[in-house]
Structure 1
């Protein structure tokens, strides 16, 4: 699995608001300290030398967005971010085992299960893009321009056109399985035309490009790799006025310190706070690849969605 490790920074840029995550402390007498990692008085962070472990989906890593977000966070806080990139299911499983401090994923059902089981707390909406169905340019299933996802998938099944699945319990794989089910189709009954690729999004796009056929991809990874691929978008998501069911929201969840008391909870909350702040959201909105915007910030709103904090099916403020 790809791992990104950065060195602990020797200094930090600017002061830090203690209310952001409760993990910044000034000196007792309000004076500066030589070992605070870039002393600027009582506002200097007192967490230099710590490391935050983030488990996240491959799309945020492969597109390079995390390079931008983590560099800004590390500069502000004077800490290192260790990023483990894999499918959403595996990212959450590492968090369940206490092997990460915070997760950034994109499968709300799996996130809800993670929270319902007590492993995750303080979930926040972060950003969104959408899913698209991409495939070879000759489009043997004739689905190009379809505005009905169910009809497009039914055409793929009827023509038995090669379809390469992530097959890895990732957020994209979870969405794909949901879409087949909504179309009234059962994956377990598919023939050899349905291929279990079992890899990250970049790998699956490359595999589809090599052998032909179709796949479901997040728009960001496809746009980032488009110059390397002989594939086209045949079914658009809502970013380009396609079906709303292809929306692809990302969330941040801190690992519950009551379950795993060794996790860097204060630092996880600082990370969540930074990425959902105006500065973090601006980095997301301004990030492009090959001239294309890949993600759309979704954390700040004059009318906040308070359902983001708890599993969607919870109707009240207290757990049954």
Structure 2
């Protein structure tokens, strides 16, 4: 029988390729909880049909913040996670309800804002940039949704020794694409992942500002859920997805994604690498 789940339907994107799976084969359907960046960038549109062709598993995708994705896994309402909030992931794995946690890919976070750069943050480090924005009380828009991007933003504020508050600082509680649109409308700064920004830069009047570096590294992992999270978890599907996304086929798709459209890859495939090398 089909599993009844509270799926956060407002955030769900169902990708079910035609001709794959029947109602009498519910064991070939899995739930992927992932971040809005993988959806808003268009990456899932490349990966999931290929995954279904290769494995026969159909995917229902819940694109939410990493914090929400982890919570879905914790409640046994997702079979596998693709997330980018390492500290929260490590805490979650330590709870004991997950299976493998594997390195998949990375890109970086960006601080973007108006082209005239009213806070004069260009070439500043991330913490220096947010300090300048706060001291000038220049509009800043946060996702405010406990996503991996929001977690990174909070880490930078903490390093700067600042608790952002006041009329200049606002939160959308929405995904990255919507937050970029709000920031552009308000002539404000925000923190974004590179993939979503590049995929939307033609529709938002914002530019990349500030310096990069290891502080803005954005790492994605796949996390299998197990029946320890709930007896509805499709462990076979979780293992199939985890195995596939670190396979040569998927890693090649990840490495080529965005090159034709944007002139550069939006993600760097990392399966099998030592994660410590990424920050070097």
Query: Normalising to structure 2: TM-score of the pair?
Result: 0.89
1:102-113 paired onto structure 2 within 5 Å: 102-113=80-91
Q: 1:3 aligns with which of 1, 13, 16?
A: 13
* Number of the residue aligned with 1:183: 160
Change (3 A) 1:9 1:118: farther
1:52-91 paired onto structure 2 within 5 Å: 52-91=30-69
- What value does the CA root-mean-square deviation take over the aligned residues? 2.0
Contact 1:8 1:49 in 2 (8 A): no
Q: How far did residue 83 of structure 1 move?
A: 0.5
Describe the SS at the equivalent of 2:208. strand
Tell me the distance in 2 between the aligned counterparts of 1:117 and 1:2: 26
Q: How far did residue 305 of structure 1 move?
A: 4.9
* Number of the residue aligned with 1:263: 233
* Number of the residue aligned with 1:99: 77
* Number of the residue aligned with 2:245: 275
**1:193-216 CA-partner distances (Å, limit 9, x unpaired):** 011121100000000111111000
1:165 and 2:142 correspond: yes
Q: How far did residue 2 of structure 1 move?
A: 3.4
Q: Which runs of 5+ in 2 are unaligned?
A: 1-10
Q: Which has the larger radius of gyration?
A: 1
1:210 and 2:210 correspond: no
1:79-158 paired onto structure 2 within 5 Å: 79-146=57-124, 148-158=125-135
Contact 1:150 1:183 in 2 (8 A): yes
Higher relative contact order (CA closer than 8 Å, sequence separation 6+): 2
Tell me the distance in 2 between the aligned counterparts of 1:164 and 1:247: 20
Q: How far did residue 252 of structure 1 move?
A: 0.6
**1:59-94 CA-partner distances (Å, limit 9, x unpaired):** 001111111111111001112111110111111111
Contact 1:127 1:298 in 2 (8 A): yes
**1:274-298 CA-partner distances (Å, limit 9, x unpaired):** 1101111101001014333110001
Tell me the distance in 2 between the aligned counterparts of 1:294 and 1:305: 19
Q: Which runs of 5+ in 1 are unaligned?
A: 12-34, 36-46, 237-241, 307-320
- The structure that is helix-richer by fraction is 2
Q: 2:195 aligns with which of 198, 220, 226?
A: 220
* Number of the residue aligned with 1:294: 266
Q: How far did residue 261 of structure 1 move?
A: 2.4
Corresponding pairs, count: 263
Describe the SS at the equivalent of 2:239. helix
Tell me the distance in 1 between the aligned counterparts of 2:201 and 2:219: 22
Describe the SS at the equivalent of 1:143. coil
Change (3 A) 1:180 1:87: same
Query: Normalising to structure 1: TM-score of the pair?
Result: 0.78
Tell me the distance in 1 between the aligned counterparts of 2:161 and 2:262: 37
* Number of the residue aligned with 2:3: none
